[in-house]
Structure 1
Amino acid sequence: MRIEQQPAWVLHLRPWRESSALVELFTRDHGRVGAVVRGIRGPRQQALRAALQPLVPVHVDYLARGEMARLIQAEAMGLGLPLRGDALMAAFYVNELVLRLAPRGDPATPLFLRYGVVLSELAEGQPLAWVLRRFERDLLAELGVGLDWSMDARGMPLDAAARYRVDPEDGPVRDAGHRSGSVSGAALLSLAGEHCPPLEQLRELRPALRALLVAQLGGRPLKSWDMLGRLQRPKIAAPGADSQTGEG
Structure 2
Amino acid sequence: MPAPVSLEPGYVLHARPWRETSLLLECLTAEHGRIGLIARGVRGAHTPTARADLQPLRRLRLSYSRQGELGRLHAAELMALHALGGEALLAALYVNELLVRLLPREDAHAHLFAQYQTLLEQLSGARASAWLLRRFERDLLEAMGYAPLLDREAESGAPVQAGLRYAYAPERGPLRWQPHLGGSGLRGSALLALAHDQVPEAQDLPDLRRLLRELISLHLGGRALASWSLAPLARPRPHAAD
TM-score, structure 1 as length reference = 0.90
Count of equivalent residues: 238
> What is the percentage of aligned positions where both structures have the same residue?
42
- Residue 146 of structure 2 corresponds to 145
Matches of 1:127 and 1:141, distance apart in 2: 23
- Residue 91 of structure 1 corresponds to 92
Matches of 1:228 and 1:72, distance apart in 2: 38
| Cα 1:193–1:36 shift into 2, 3 Å | same
Q: Which amino acid aligns with 1:220?
A: R
> Could you report, residue by residue, the CA deviation over 1:179-226 in whole angstroms, capped at 9, with x for unpaired residues?
316211111011112221222112211101110000011111000000
Q: Which amino acid aligns with 2:229?
A: D
> Could you report, residue by residue, the CA deviation over 1:152-189 in whole angstroms, capped at 9, with x for unpaired residues?
21322102122222222211122222631621111101
Q: Which amino acid aligns with 1:226?
A: S
Paired residue secondary structure (2:230): helix
- Residue 39 of structure 2 corresponds to 37
Asked whether 1:19 is paired with 2:21, we answer yes
CA RMSD of aligned residues (A): 1.8
Alpha-carbon deviation of 1:46?
6.8
Q: Which amino acid aligns with 2:122?
A: E
Matches of 1:132 and 1:69, distance apart in 2: 30
1:190 to 186, 189, 193: 193
- Residue 103 of structure 1 corresponds to 104
TM-score, structure 2 as length reference = 0.92
- Residue 133 of structure 2 corresponds to 132
- Residue 167 of structure 1 corresponds to 169
Matches of 1:3 and 1:228, distance apart in 2: 40
Paired residue secondary structure (2:31): coil
| Cα 1:29–1:181 shift into 2, 3 Å | farther
- Residue 246 of structure 1 corresponds to none
Q: Which amino acid aligns with 1:182?
A: G
- Counting only pairs closer than 5 Å after superposition, residues 114-125 of structure 1 correspond to structure 2 as 114-125=115-126
Contact 1:90 1:228 in 2 (8 A): no
| Cα 1:58–1:228 shift into 2, 3 Å | farther
- Residue 213 of structure 2 corresponds to 210
1:227 to 227, 230, 237: 230
Matches of 1:144 and 1:232, distance apart in 2: 28
Matches of 1:113 and 1:159, distance apart in 2: 32
Matches of 1:129 and 1:221, distance apart in 2: 19
Structure 2: any 5+ residue segments left out of the alignment?
Answer: none
Alpha-carbon deviation of 1:234?
4.7
| Cα 1:231–1:30 shift into 2, 3 Å | same
Structure 1: any 5+ residue segments left out of the alignment?
Answer: 244-248
| Cα 1:227–1:181 shift into 2, 3 Å | farther
